[in-house]
Chains A and B, each alone.
Chain A
Amino acid sequence: MSAQPIVDIETLYRPTHDERARQQFVSTLRKHAIVDMRADLKRDWESRVEPALQARGEAPADWRGIERAMEAEPSFRFYSSVRYNVQEMTFLSVQEPVERALDGMIDVAREAAKRNPAGGSLRLTPNFEVPRYVSSLDIHLIPGSFHSEYTQDDVAQGAVVAFGSKVFGGQHPFRKKAGAVAESVGHWLHLKYPDFKPRRILDLGTCSGKNLFPYAEVFPGAELYGIDAGAPLLRFGHAQAEAAGLPVHFSQQNAESLDFPDGHFDLIVSSFFFHEIPLKSTHKILRECHRLLARGGMMVQMELPNEAAVSAYENFFWNWDTGNNAEPFYTTFRSQDPIALSTAAGFAAEQSFAHLIPDWVTFGEERYRRFVKGELPAPAHGSGGWFVFGARKT
């Protein structure tokens, strides 16, 4: 007698015709802001604002100078306004259908947690102390952030983040596919270190595991673990994994102090994680990575390119999110040297790295092999490449 499979939790979410149309348009608007208006902004800077400053002998020394010069320009005001509004509209566009589906989605998640037919697990901590850097603000302008719970066994924020991400990346040239980062990191590791066969993989700040699941395919047989502070995200992700037949072990933990034994993992990853947390926590977490890795193990953290790695203009562009997307630690994180972060955590400098890798899906396997051989460069971060830093533990 075989157990009933877990229902795909996403099938319960049924936006109306007009809600779908609204989400599609918000995706288009988001793409317009982050691709087209971004290009207009840069053109305005390079062709008009910068030459005028240079002519007056007032060329800015750094990204803050560029920001000051651009702040009052219409190109910057409209770019910023559209980006901010579209961020709000992204989550607004999914909240109502999530509310209608919530009761049923919670039932599915409960069933998954009770039966674990794929062999994964969900471990939540009663009275878990959510770090203040998650609980005290609405990161990415998601009302309720990653952790809020509005009913028993709530999955709402997990659903809002998951479906909101689809709207957010729906028309973006490099973010259409969920899990693009994990696919890229996984295939890069596989091609670069053909002998590297991780037995256990840990994803920090996993949300609902979107950038953890693809490792099951790249490293068959590896045990997958994901930790996060947000219970609704973990419940939602666990339900998805069990429905997909993926045995994933989710637990609610603070990454600064994890309950796994020393040397438990061969690969520790994260994506879009460290720029959301205070520097003090980053140091603690990287030390945890060092403790948790077995000898020969690797950590690969996908992050924003650091300040020194890109031009003053790029820094102006990236750091916009710090004050305008509820990401207060973004600029501080980017000002750090990623190699120094790894060595401060106990990794050897010669085993540490910080560079771009191409996006797996859009770059193509043949070109990827040439990148690994050093024959092709990787595209810029967010434009077909991903910035990663990390180290191998010796």
Chain B
Amino acid sequence: MTAQTPATAVKLPRQTRGKRPHFFDDPALDQMMTFLLELTTEVSVMRERLDTVERLLERDGKVTRETIEAYIPDADIEKVRAAWRDAYVKRVFRMHPAG
């Protein structure tokens, strides 16, 4: 891409340059960790969407894609969600006792 690329057509690079370090003896495990972390993230995204749907149904008795998209939680609801995410991460990434 150059200065001639229109701003609406810019696609930013998704990959960093340089060699990616690996932390496990088998690099496949490093790749597996990426799959796992991305999947864990998507579960949280779906959970949040479900929470939005539930709250909209409670409030309005109906839900549309537009109302989901427009929904911004207030500070109290965001606090509840943050606590859920925190507990969720701690549950999923429970480490075995060392030894």
Q: Which residues of A are interface residues toward B (Cβ below 8 A)?
A: 16-18, 21-22, 24-26, 28-29, 31-32, 36-37, 40, 44, 47-48, 73-78, 80-82, 84-86, 88-89, 92, 95, 98-99, 102-103, 106, 137-138, 141-144, 148-152, 154, 156, 160, 171, 323-324, 326
Q: Shortest beta-carbon distance, B69 to chain A, in Å?
A: 5
For A323, give its contact among B16, B21, B40, B85 (CB under 8 Å). B21
Can you name 13 A-B residue pairings with CB atoms under 8 Å? A24-B81, A24-B82, A36-B90, A44-B98, A74-B96, A76-B23, A89-B41, A99-B11, A106-B7, A150-B1, A150-B10, A151-B7, A326-B16
The interface residues of chain B lying within 8 Å CB-to-CB of A99 are: 10-12
Number of contacting residues on B, CB 8 A?
A: 48
B12: nearest chain-A partner, CB-CB: A95
B10:A156 contact, CB within 8 angstroms: yes
Bitwise interface map of B from 1 to 34 toward A, beta carbon under 8 Å scored 1, else 0: 1011111111111111110110110000010011
The interface residues of chain A lying within 8 Å CB-to-CB of B86 are: 28, 31-32, 171
B45:A21 contact, CB within 8 angstroms: yes
For A40, give its contact among B7, B13, B18, B95 (CB under 8 Å). B95
B residues 16-68 near A (Cβ < 8 Å) are 16-18, 20-21, 23-24, 30, 33-34, 37-38, 40-42, 44-45, 48-49, 52, 68
Which 8 pairs show the lowest CB-CB distances between chains A and B?
A: A21-B48, A138-B16, A103-B7, A25-B44, A143-B13, A28-B85, A150-B1, A21-B45
Q: Tell me the bound Cα distance from A84 to B73 in angstroms.
A: 30
For B12, give its contact among A76, A143, A152 (CB under 8 Å). A143
B80 at the interface (CB under 8 A from A): no
The interface residues of chain A lying within 8 Å CB-to-CB of B68 are: 17
A29:B37 contact, CB within 8 angstroms: yes
A151:B41 contact, CB within 8 angstroms: no
A78:B95 contact, CB within 8 angstroms: yes
A86:B16 contact, CB within 8 angstroms: no
Q: Shortest beta-carbon distance, A134 to chain B, in Å?
A: 13
The interface residues of chain B lying within 8 Å CB-to-CB of A31 are: 86
A103:B8 contact, CB within 8 angstroms: yes
If A25-B44, A103-B8 touch, does A141 touch B16 (CB 8 Å cutoff)? yes
The interface residues of chain B lying within 8 Å CB-to-CB of A106 are: 7
B45:A16 contact, CB within 8 angstroms: no
If A22-B45, A151-B10 touch, does A48 touch B16 (CB 8 Å cutoff)? no
For A150, give its contact among B5, B41, B42 (CB under 8 Å). B5
Q: Tell me the bound Cα distance from A44 to B86 in angstroms.
A: 22
Q: Tell me the bound Cα distance from A18 to B1 in angstroms.
A: 28
If A95-B12, A156-B12 touch, does A80 touch B23 (CB 8 Å cutoff)? yes
Among A25, A86, A323, find the residue whose CB has the most chain B CB atoms closer than 10 A: A25
